C-alpha cells in the first residue's frame, strides 16, 4: 500500500536514510526534525568561516552500507582516503603508536605483553559471530587477553574517562567490534588508512534531503511531542499542540525520549527503554594556526589529562587551518557536564601545553563547544536481550536508535544500514 502516510521522526543519518528508502519505493512521507538543521550528531555548522561537523567523523574501509549508498547517490568520487598516524601520550611523553614497529619499540611494555596485545587484535579482527562475547564484560575479556598491567596501561584510562560508573559493565562484543572496525581499516600491516567525504558529512546529508523532498517534506524546528495511539494503533503525531495524521510512525530519535513520546507503550517495553543508559559528550573544537602533533588520533593515558584522547582532524582531511576535536565523554549526571564552556576550553589549553610545550593561546583562531546528551549508548553484557524490538506491539509504530546498531559502535554507516532496515520493516 504505497499510498499510506508515513512520518519519520529525526533527520539524523538514520531518519534520512529511512525516508530516502521509502521515497524510492513511492511512499508519501514527512520527516520531523527538532533541530534547525538536518544531520543530528553528524550535522555541521559555520566555524568562523569553515563549514565543519560539530563532532569528528572518519570513515573505515568496512563501512560497506555507506559505500553502497554513496554509489547509488553518485557520490563515490567524494570519498577520499588518507594514510593516518596514531600516537600515544603516556605519562608525559608522546609515542608513535598504531603499527607493529612502534608497538615493538614502545618501552613501557615487555615483549610477552606486546605479543599478547598483537594476538588479541589479530583474534578480534577475525571474529564474525559476537554472541559469545555479548555475554562477557569487556574489562574481564581484555584483562584475560592482555593481563592486568597492559589493560591498565592501554585501556584502563579510556574506560574510566569514557564510561565512569558503567566501566565494569560494558559488553565485550561492543568493544570487540570497535577494535575490529579500526584494525580492519588498514592499507597494509604498517599503514592505517581512514576515509572522509570531500565536503564533509553534509555532502551525503544534502543528497539524501534532495531525494526525500521529491516525495514529501522535511520539517525543521519541529519537535514531535507525542505519538497518538488509539486501540493499540498509530493515528499520527502531535506537534506544537496540533495533531497530524499518519498510518505509520518511525522514530529514530534517542530511545530515552520514547518514554514521553509514546507513554502508551506496554510497561515491559518502557522498562527496557529506561534501563538503557547513555553517555553524553562535551566536545571542544579548536581552529589553530599550528598543528599540535602529526597524529590524527592521539590516545592519552596521563594523570594530568582528564580526556582519553584527541583528534586532530586536519591530519586526515587537510584544511587551510588546523582543526582539533577534544571530546569529554561523560554521563549527563556528571558534575562537569553542565560546567561553562570556557572552563572546558581553559582545561583543553592546559592539556595541549602538556602534550606540545610549544602550544600557546596565540595559536587559537576560534573555539566552539558542542554537547549531546545521547552521544553513546551504554551497551552492557547480554545487550541483545535488553534491547527492545524495533517493531513495537503498537500497530504502525517502529522505534530505533543508535543502540540498535549493537554490537557495532555508532557510525553513519550503521545508521544508513538501520535506516534501510526500518523502511523495510514499516512496509512489511
Ligand atoms: C563525538 C562523536 C563522534 C563520532 N564519530 C563518528 C565517526 O568518526 N564516524 C562515524 O561514522 N560516526 C561517528 N559518530 C556517530 C554518528 O554521528 C552517528 O552514528 C549518527 O549521526 C547517528 O545518526 P542517527 O540518525 O541515528 O541519530 P542522531 O544523529 O542522534 O539523530 C537524531 C535526530 O533526532 C532529532 N530529534 C530528537 N528528538 C526529536 C523530536 N522529539 N522530534 C523531532 N526530532 C527529534 C535530533 O535533533 C537529531 O537530529 C560520532 C558521534 C559523536 C557524537
Q: Which of 61, 183, 72 is nearest to 117 (CA)?
A: 183
List the chain domain ranges.
5-57+200-276+380-426, 82-191, 277-377
Pairing type for strands 5-9 and 248-251 reads parallel
Predicted confidence at residue 2, as pLDDT, reads 67
CATH number for region 5-57+200-276+380-426: 3.50.50.60
Q: CA-CA distance, 91 to 84, in Å (whole number)?
A: 23
Distances (CA, A) of 333 to 56, 162, 165, 330: 24, 13, 11, 8
Instruction: Indicate the pLDDT class of residue 428, thresholds 50, 70 and 90.
Output: confident
Q: CA-CA distance, 320 to 360, in Å (whole number)?
A: 19
Predicted confidence at residue 187, as pLDDT, reads 87
- Exposure b/e, 87-105, CB count within 10 A at least 16 = b: bbbbeeebbbbbbeebbee
Q: Which atom of ligand 1 is nearest to the CA of 32?
A: 43
Task: Provide the 10 A C-beta neighbour count for residue 272.
Answer: 17
Closest residue CA from atom 35 of ligand 1: 10
Length of the chain: 428
Which three cell numbers mark 335? 558534575
Mean pLDDT of the chain: 96
CA–centroid distance, residue 402 to ligand 1 (Å): 8
The class level of CATH for 82-191 reads mainly alpha
**Which stretches within 54-201 are classed as H helix?**
64-72, 100-105, 111-125, 131-134, 138-146, 148-151, 157-163, 172-184
CA angle 232, 237, 242 (to 5 degrees): 130
CA angle 262, 263, 269 (to 5 degrees): 85
**pLDDT above 70 as % of the chain:** 100
CA–centroid distance, residue 9 to ligand 1 (Å): 13
The secondary structure element, H or E, covering residue 349 is: helix 341-355
The stretch 285-297 carries a mean pLDDT of 98
- Are 203 and 75 within 8 A, CB to CB? yes
CA–centroid distance, residue 62 to ligand 1 (Å): 20
CA–centroid distance, residue 355 to ligand 1 (Å): 30
Closest residue CA from atom 5 of ligand 1: 57
Pairing type for strands 216-219 and 28-32 reads parallel
- Exposure b/e, 234-243, CB count within 10 A at least 16 = b: bbbbebeeee
**pLDDT above 90 as % of the chain:** 96
Q: Which atom of ligand 1 is nearest to the CA of 35?
A: 47
Q: Which atom of ligand 1 is nearest to the CA of 14?
A: 25
Instruction: Indicate the pLDDT class of residue 57, thresholds 50, 70 and 90.
Output: very high
- Are 216 and 23 within 8 A, CB to CB? yes
pLDDT tens digit string along 59-96? 999 999 999 999 999 999 999 999 999 999 999 999 99
pLDDT tens digit string along 179-211? 999 899 888 888 999 999 999 999 999 999 999
Predicted confidence at residue 186, as pLDDT, reads 87
Instruction: Indicate the pLDDT class of residue 152, thresholds 50, 70 and 90.
Output: very high
- Site to probe by mutation for ligand 1, drawn from 10, 327, 405, 409 as the one with most ligand atoms within 8 Å of Cβ, is 10
Closest residue CA from atom 15 of ligand 1: 411
The answer to whether residue 1 scores a pLDDT higher than 70 is no
pLDDT tens digit string along 249-267? 999 999 999 999 999 999 9
Which three cell numbers mark 36? 534547525
CATH number for region 277-377: 3.90.660.20
Put simply, whether the predicted model's pTM sits higher than 0.85 gets the answer yes
pLDDT tens digit string along 381-411? 999 999 999 999 999 999 999 999 999 999 9
Amino acid at each position: 500500500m504505497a499510498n499510506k502516510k508515513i512520518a519519520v521522526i529525526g533527520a539524523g543519518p538514520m531518519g534520512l536514510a529511512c525516508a530516502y528508502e521509502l521515497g524510492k519505493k513511492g511512499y508519501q512521507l514527512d520527516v520531523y526534525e527538532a533541530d534547525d538543521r538536518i544531520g543530528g550528531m553528524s550535522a555541521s555548522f559555520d566555524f568562523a568561516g569553515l563549514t565543519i561537523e560539530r563532532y569528528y567523523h572518519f570513515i573505515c574501509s568496512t563501512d560497506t552500507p555507506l559505500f553502497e549508498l554513496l554509489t547509488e547517490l553518485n557520490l563515490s568520487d567524494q570519498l577520499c582516503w588518507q594514510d593516518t598516524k596514531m600516537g600515544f601520550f603516556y605519562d608525559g611523553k608522546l609515542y608513535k603508536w598504531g603499527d607493529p614497529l612502534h608497538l615493538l619499540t614502545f618501552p613501557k611494555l615487555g615483549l610477552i605483553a606486546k605479543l599478547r596485545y598483537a594476538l588479541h587484535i589479530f583474534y578480534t579482527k577475525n571474529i564474525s559471530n559476537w554472541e559469545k562475547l555479548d555475554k562477557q564484560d569487556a574489562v574481564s575479556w581484555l584483562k584475560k587477553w592482555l593481563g592486568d598491567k597492559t589493560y591498565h596501561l592501554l585501556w584502563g584510562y579510556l574506560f574510566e574517562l569514557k564510561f565512569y560508573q558503567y566501566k565494569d559493565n560494558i559488553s565485550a562484543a561492543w568493544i570487540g567490534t570497535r577494535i575490529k572496525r579500526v584494525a580492519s581499516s588498514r592499507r597494509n600491516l604498517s599503514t592505517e588508512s581512514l576515509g572522509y567525504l570531500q565536503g564533509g558529512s553534509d555532502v551525503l546529508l544534502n543528497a539524501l534531503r534532495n531525494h526525500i523532498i521529491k516525495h514529501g517534506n522535511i520539517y525543521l524546528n519541529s519537535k514531535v511531542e507525542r505519538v497518538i495511539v488509539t486501540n493499540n494503533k498509530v493515528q499520527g503525531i502531535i506537534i506544537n499542540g496540533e495533531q497530524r495524521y499518519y498510518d505509520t510512525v518511525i522514530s529514530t530519535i534517542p530511545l530515552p525520549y520514547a518514554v514521553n513520546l509514546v507513554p502508551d507503550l506496554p510497561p515491559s517495553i518502557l522498562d527496557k527503554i529506561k534501563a538503557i543508559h547513555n553517555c553524553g559528550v562535551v566536545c571542544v573544537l579548536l581552529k589553530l594556526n599550528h598543528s599540535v602533533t602529526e597524529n590524527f588520533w592521539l590516545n592519552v593515558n596521563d594523570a594530568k589529562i582528564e580526556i582519553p584522547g584527541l583528534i586532530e582532524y586536519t591530519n586526515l582531511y587537510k584544511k587551510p587551518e588546523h582543526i582539533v576535536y577534544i571530546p569529554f565523554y561523560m554521563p549527563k549526571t556528571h558534575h562537569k557536564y553542565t560546567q561553562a564552556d570556557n572552563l572546558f576550553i581553559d582545561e583543553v589549553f592546559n592539556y595541549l601545553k602538556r602534550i606540545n610545550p610549544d602550544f600557546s593561546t596565540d595559536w587559537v583562531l576560534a573555539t566552539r563547544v558542542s554537547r549531546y546528551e545521547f552521544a553513546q549508548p551504554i551497551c552492557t553484557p547480554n545487550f541483545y536481550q535488553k534491547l527492545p524490538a524495533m517493531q513495537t506491539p503498537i500497530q504502525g509504530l517502529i522505534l530505533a536508535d543508535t543502540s540498535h546498531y549493537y554490537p557495532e559502535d555508532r557510525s553513519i554507516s550503521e545508521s544508513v544500514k538501520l535506516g534501510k532496515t526500518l523502511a523495510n520493516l514499516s512496509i512489511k
